Structure 1
């Protein structure tokens, strides 16, 4: 049985053979919110960035492929967005999502002990409103965990994507009310710029 997203990972590896990725880049990885960040380089013009987001991946997928699309790049910094798809499966509690993140974190730290890690909080996608309580709790647990670790940053994108009555700003999302349009990425870039190496 072929594991999920294998084709995308093979495509990354094939691309790397033809055109070796930059050394010392800031590596962005995780689910489709990273994969669909089409203007990542333009968002951070003074940085060397590498996009390795794939599919609608969940944390176990990122763990599965870390030895292929995170560790070998020896990045200067890792920026991760993952966990939202785990929670939206309806089968994963906030604690389980946090535990999965911790597993990934420890795997990365084992091989790249000094590489700074940035976690982008799970966002408030309007189509996943029923999961907001779990997403908020998972964000809090991950934030608390990272507060006790060295060389880590938690970036809150959840709060700035809400309007004054606490609801998601619909104008930041595509018609599917799940994926972001360019306005959503503007907020992410603003929040990330101060923490990128």
Structure 2
């Protein structure tokens, strides 16, 4: 009888362990985070890099270091991510790198995917910023404004609200910058240039990143 109970306990705990492993692996972007860990183990972590975090507009900037010669940049953005996801993986994204500066591009997917209010997106940003400050009180933090992607034009009003709220908030915080990439992406008539976007009208061509680099360069430490 004791043997059966023992076997049952082992079976029961095995089910629990398998369930935990399954849900851990199914957690959104778990695989991407594990890939970052593998890269760090293979290549090592440079000393005091500029750390990029956020969503696909940074993820797809795979040659970002070429745009900023002399700067040591670690790109840990993952496509599709929201500020919610950055909050879920704060430790994994921030702890290993001991950065000299953190640059964020995130919030566009929050607006487009979750149907939140501007205030809700802003609160997600404040939460992430608070977590950064808890770990790195003196590290400069810069936020790149949410771009006006043509494929997401219906969200532009809330994008404007979120950008305005984040910009105003960062003005009240020390060692922060708000990097506005809005004007540089517009044509002479003040309309968003579609020629700098890929066919999905969401992600950018190299020409778009060249414009971003010009605006961002003065802010990089």
Pairwise same-fold verdict (TM > 0.5)? yes
Give the ranges of 4+ consecutive aligned residues of structure 1 lying more than 4 Å apart after TM superposition.
none
1:1-197 equivalent positions in 2, closer than 5 A = 1=23, 2-89=26-113, 91-197=115-221
1:71–1:112 CA contact under 8 A, matched in 2: no
Q: Deviations over 1:149-178 (max 9, x none)?
A: 000000001222122333210011000000
Unaligned runs of 5+ in 2: 1-22
Unaligned runs of 5+ in 1: none
The RMSD of aligned alpha carbons is 1.0
TM-score, length of structure 1 as denominator length: 0.97
Q: Name the count of aligned residue pairs.
A: 197
1:26–1:76 CA contact under 8 A, matched in 2: yes
d(CA) in 2 for partners of 1:160, 1:94: 24
152-161 vs 164-173, which moves further = 164-173
CA radius of gyration, larger in: 2
2:57–2:79 CA contact under 8 A, matched in 1: no
State the shift of 1:77 in Å.
Answer: 0.1
d(CA) in 1 for partners of 2:141, 2:86: 14
State the shift of 1:90 in Å.
Answer: 5.2
